[in-house]
A = this chain, B = another copy of it.
Amino acid sequence: MQSVSVSTRGKNVPKSAIRKLIPFAKEREKTGVKIIKLNIGQPDIETPEEFWQGVRDFKERVLAYAPSEGRAELVKSFVTYYNKYGITVTTSDIVVIMGGIEGILFALLAATDPGDEVIVAEPYYSNYLGVAAMAQVNFVAFTTTAENGYHLPAREEIVKKITPRTKAVLISSPGNPTGCVYTRKEMELLASIANEHGLFLISDEVYREFAYDGEEATSVMQIPGTEQCGIIIDSVSKRYSACGARLGCVVSKNKEFMASVLSLATVRLSAGTLDQVAIANCINTPDAYFEKVRKEYVERRDIVVKGLSAIPGVVCPSPKGAFYVMAKIKGVDTEEFAKWLLTDFADNNETVMIAPGAGFYATPGLGRDEIRIAYVFKAPVMKRAMEILAQAIQTFRSLKK
């Protein structure tokens, strides 16, 4: 009998920076300690009533496969949705996916061959790394910094990362984990680079609704001349606070690209039927829902930024979008700190869970003194969380002296 062993890639799937501490949290919770989970973008915002109405209205008695490209009513609702934003698309420009990550996977498979390179802005959403591993592509990162609000560096800083193996640029705006909303000029810059060098511009726009202080997210497909290079990755997880719905779409005018995406979608048959029906009805969600949600997030963001900035040695720019804050805690190894928060620290039997920053960077060493916080709970909870964090940082620093 020979032993059987897992593949090299199976062993090396990058761990999610956001989820890898979960086992420690589970152990701690058994001891009765309450953990405020700021590590994951799971908001407490209620899913709109339109979703539940959509579920109730579904009267088919056989829960059948949906078409691989998505149920007609959902695809149509997405067309209506994009038209509202001045993004002119038709149903044939859209393929429904099971969440943004599936969209990134399909986009990478359609844009690259194994060993090809994709340029990303770091810090980036850490789960991208896992998708890159699945698709066997290499990320080449240019760095954005807290000092510059995580906006794009100069054109040449991006262009110099391009090699003969580069096939795409992958960005997210409003950004996870940075909260940065790229300006129209920045999106134009990226489109110009993509067009000049024959690259796809894969634009993760799942936080489109979450832009604050008068900012507006600019879609890649709002930039003229992106018909061939422009790819939108979208998801309803955040838009409708429906993370559990596992739905989104890939959008592009590039017919060859969309044919590949549809072929990939056909391999896995279809996305969930009930979720599709319910999300299709969410097109009827009133604007007031989003305005209320935005107001709520701004309040929470301000609490977090104020709370963090008041801690000595913490640098935290106020982000203009999404619901994350990247903060620098000078002199603190945040990998160690994040784990210690779960294994050792408690204030009045409460602690917080945060995502250490290194997992959001490709460049070794970067992000070691940063954390990502998701402001996904009501104001009083966020206030309390900042209190706990302030005290924890003080205690941790004194332990390390």
Residue positions of A touching B, CB distance < 8 A:
1-11, 13-16, 19, 40, 42-47, 51, 55, 61-66, 68, 98-99, 101-102, 105, 109-114, 116, 127, 130-131, 133-134, 136, 167, 194-200, 228-229, 237, 241-246, 254, 256-257, 259-260, 263-264, 266-275, 278
Contacts and interface: CB of A to CB of B under 8 A. Distances in A.
Given A4-B200, A246-B272, 9 more contacts: A6-B260, A46-B62, A47-B62, A63-B241, A63-B243, A64-B243, A114-B114, A127-B269, A246-B246
A265 to B, nearest CB: 10
Given A3-B228, A130-B263, A241 B13 contact: no
A127 B242 CA distance: 29
Contacts of A19: 68, 266
A254 B42 CA distance: 31
A222 to B, nearest CB: 19
A184 to B, nearest CB: 20
B65 A4 contact: no
Contacts of A65: 40, 42, 237, 243-244
B267 A16 contact: yes
A2 B275 contact: no
Contact of A257 (B6, B102, B127): B6
Nearest to A128: B267
Contacts of A40: 65
Given A13-B264, A15-B263, A42-B65, A4 B198 contact: yes
Given A113-B9, A228-B4, A274 B195 contact: no
B102 A15 contact: no
B266 A109 contact: no
Contacts of A245: 63, 272-274
27 contacts: A1-B196, A2-B197, A3-B228, A4-B254, A6-B111, A7-B110, A7-B112, A8-B113, A43-B62, A47-B62, A55-B274, A63-B241, A63-B243, A63-B244, A101-B267, A105-B268, A114-B114, A114-B136, A244-B270, A245-B272, A245-B274, A246-B270, A246-B272, A274-B274, A274-B275, A274-B278, A275-B275
Contacts of A130: 263-264, 266-267
A199 to B, nearest CB: 6
Nearest to A41: B65
- Which of A116, A127, A272 has the largest number of chain B CB atoms within 10 A? A272
Contact of A62 (B44, B63, B196, B259): B44
A50 to B, nearest CB: 12
Contact of A113 (B7, B196, B198, B267): B7
A300 to B, nearest CB: 15
Given A13-B263, A110-B10, A46 B64 contact: no
Nearest to A246: B272
The 8 A-B pairs with the shortest beta carbon distances in the complex, nearest first, are A244-B273, A2-B198, A130-B267, A10-B260, A10-B110, A13-B263, A63-B244, A65-B243
A244 B6 contact: no
Contacts of A13: 109, 260, 263-264, 267
B7 A109 contact: yes
A64 B42 CA distance: 7
- Which of A9, A40, A98, A114 has the largest number of chain B CB atoms within 10 A? A9
A101 B269 contact: yes
A45 B63 contact: no
A99 B268 contact: yes
A191 B256 CA distance: 43
